[in-house]
Amino acid sequence: MPRNSPLYLLAGQPGARLALGERAFLGHINLRGAGADSGFLDAVCSAVGVAPPLAPNTVACAGAVTIYWLGPDEWQVQAPPEQCAALLAQLRAALAGRHAAVTDVSDAHTVIVLDDPRADALLSRGCPLDFHPAVFPVGSCAQSVFGKTGVLLLREAPQRFALVVRRSFAAYLYHALQEAAVVAGE
């Protein structure tokens, strides 16, 4: 059966002029382990090429792989689809025998990209976080909600955000962002 993006039916539909895109089919790996354990950190670094970030709401990158901090003992590893299976195997091998969990959650998520000069204001219409660049600078990530769905946000550039969302809520989030643009005076 062909694999479809959760937003494939929305492509080309009229709506607010808003720079929205999707990074469909990325690999998403939930990683759990003791951030205070240097052996755990070294094992992840050997598998991924970078240690998981320990500071709250930050990311670490190695090439096209990004590790999001989700909590003191939880991270999300995001990778191109062609790298995910190998990365999953490398993490499991590196962490074998350690108190850790490596779970492929790729099919549960997609990424919506908002790249717009009004991104801060539009996100503030549905999310309780403060998106001022002094508070949420480039490279920051946070778990929150937008409207009625959970999101993992990453500020990639001053006006560009990647929003990791459950596939079943992708169309809802897409439309909610368009509505925020309309309400903002688009």
Of 19-23, 131-135, 166-170, least confident by mean pLDDT is 19-23
pLDDT of residue 3: 60
- Alpha-carbon distance of 89 to 68, in angstroms, equals 19
Looking at every residue in the chain, the average pLDDT score rounds to 91
- CA–CA distance, 66 with 103 (Å, rounded to integer): 16
Indicate the CATH number of 16-24+107-183 among 3.40.50.1370, 3.90.1200.10, 3.40.1000.10, 3.30.1360.120: 3.30.1360.120
- What was the pLDDT predicted at 2? 55
pLDDT of residue 186: 47
9-18, 19-28, 68-77, 167-176: segment of lowest average pLDDT: 9-18
pLDDT for residue 9:
45
Which three-class secondary structure string do you get for 65-102?
EEEEEEECCEEEEEECHHHHHHHHHHHHHHCCCCCCEE
Average pLDDT over residues 109-132: 96
Which CATH class name applies to 27-106?
Answer: alpha beta
For the chain, the domains span 16-24+107-183, 27-106
User: Using 50, 70 and 90 to split pLDDT, how confident is the model at 184?
Assistant: confident
Is the pLDDT confidence value at 134 over 90? yes
Spatial contact of 159 and 116, defined as CB atoms under 8 Å apart: yes
Structure tokens at 46: 């050997």
The alpha carbon of 135 is separated from its chain's Cα centroid by a whole number of angstroms, namely: 19
How far, in Å, CA of 151 to CA of 121, rounded? Answer: 17
10-31: average pLDDT = 78
Measured from the Cβ of residue 182, the count of other Cβ atoms closer than 10 Å reads: 12
Residue in the block written with tokens 């995910």? 84
Which pLDDT does position 22 carry in this prediction?
A: 94
For residue range 39-89, list pLDDT tens digits in order.
999 999 999 999 999 999 999 999 999 999 999 999 999 999 999 999 999
Q: Across the strands, what pairs with 163?
A: 112, 153
Place of tokens 């091998």: 93
pTM above 0.85, yes or no: yes
Q: Does residue 125 carry a pLDDT above 60?
A: yes
User: Where are the alpha helices (H) located in the chain, listed in sequence order?
Assistant: 38-48, 81-94, 119-124, 170-183
